[in-house]
Amino acid sequence: MNVVEVLLGIDLGSTTTKAIALDRTGRVLGRGITNTRSNYEVASQIVRDEALVQSRFELLRHLLADSELSGIENKFIGSLVRNFRQRQHLEQLEWLESALHRCADAPRYAPQRKAVKDALHRICQGMRSRVPSHFSELAVRKSDFFRDLAAADYMQFAEQFSDAKHASFDVLCGLFDAAILVVENAAGDGAFERHAGPALEQTLATAPVDIREREPRLRSAVESVRSTELRVLGMVGTGYGRQRLPFPKEQIRSEILCHGLGAHAMFAGTRTVLDIGGQDTKAIQVDGAGIVTSFQMNDRCAAGCGRYLGYIADEMNLGLHELGKLAQESTCGVKINSTCTVFAGAELRDRLSLGQKVPDILAGLHRAIMLRAMSLLARSGGISDEFTFTGGVARNPAAVSALRSLVQQNYGVRTLNISPESIYTGALGAALFAQRAAGGGHAA
Partner 1 sequence: MLHVPYLANGRIEPHHVDYVVQQLHTEVIPKLEQVSGQRYDEARLSEMLALSAQAEDDFVWVLESAKNKPSPIDAYFGGVYYIGPIFTAFRGTSEGVEYYRVLREEIAERIRLGLGPVTPEGTMERQRYRLVVEGPPNWTSFREFWKMFYDEGAVVVASSYTKVGGLYDGGFRHDPNRPLESLAEYCLGCYTNLGLPARVDLLERYIREYRADGFMINSVKSCNSFSVGQLLMLRQLEQRTGVPGGFIESDLVDPRYFSPANIKNRIESYVQMLEQKRAGVPA
Applying CB under 8 A, which residues contact partner 1? 240, 253-257, 261, 280, 289-300, 379, 381, 432-433, 436, 442
What is the nearest approach in angstroms of partner 1 to the Cβ of residue 161?
44
Nearer to partner 1, 32 or 392 (CB): 392
| Residue closer to partner 1 (CB basis): 118 or 287 | 287
CB nearer to partner 1: pick between 49 and 275: 275
- Kindly state the smallest distance separating residue 432's Cβ from partner 1, in Å: 7
Distance CA 245, CA 44 (A): 8
Pick 173 or 371: Cβ nearer partner 1: 371
Task: For 275-286, give the DSSP string.
Answer: EE-SS-EEEEEE
CA 344 to chain centroid: 26
Question: First CA to last CA across the chain, in angstroms?
Answer: 28
Residue with smaller CB distance to partner 1, 157 or 424: 424
Question: CA 148 → CA 144, 317, 319, distances in Å?
Answer: 8, 16, 11
- Report the alpha-carbon distance of residue 294 to residue 408 in Å, rounded: 22
Q: 160 vs 293, which CB is nearer to partner 1?
A: 293
* Rounded distance between C-alpha atoms, residue 35 and residue 309, angstroms: 16
Q: How far apart are CA 286 and CA 261, in angstroms?
A: 8
CB of 14 to partner 1, least distance (A): 10
Strand partners, 163: 167
Q: What is the closest distance, in whole angstroms, from the C-beta atom of residue 293 to partner 1 in the complex?
A: 7
Which residue number, 135 or 433, has a Cβ lying nearer to partner 1? 433
Report the alpha-carbon distance of residue 51 to residue 236 in Å, rounded: 14
Using the minimum distance from each CB to partner 1, give the nearer residue, 254 or 328: 254
- Picking from 35, 59, 1, the residue whose alpha carbon sits closest to that of residue 227 is 1
Strand-pair category, 272-276 with 281-286: antiparallel
ω into 386 cis (within 30 of 0): yes
In the complex with partner 1, which residue's Cβ is closer, 264 or 367?
A: 264
Minimum distance of partner 1 from residue 221's CB (angstroms): 36
- What minimum distance in Å lies between the beta carbon of 290 and partner 1? 6
Amino acid at position 80, single letter: L
Q: Is 422 exposed, middle or buried (0-12, 13-18, 19+ CB in 10 A)?
A: buried
What is the spatial distance between Cα 416 and Cα 394, in angstroms, rounded to a whole number? 11
Cα-Cα-Cα-Cα torsion 32, 37, 40, 45, nearest 10 degrees, comes to -40
Sheet of strand 229-238, all strands in order from the earlier edge strand to the far edge? 28-35, 16-23, 3-12, 229-238
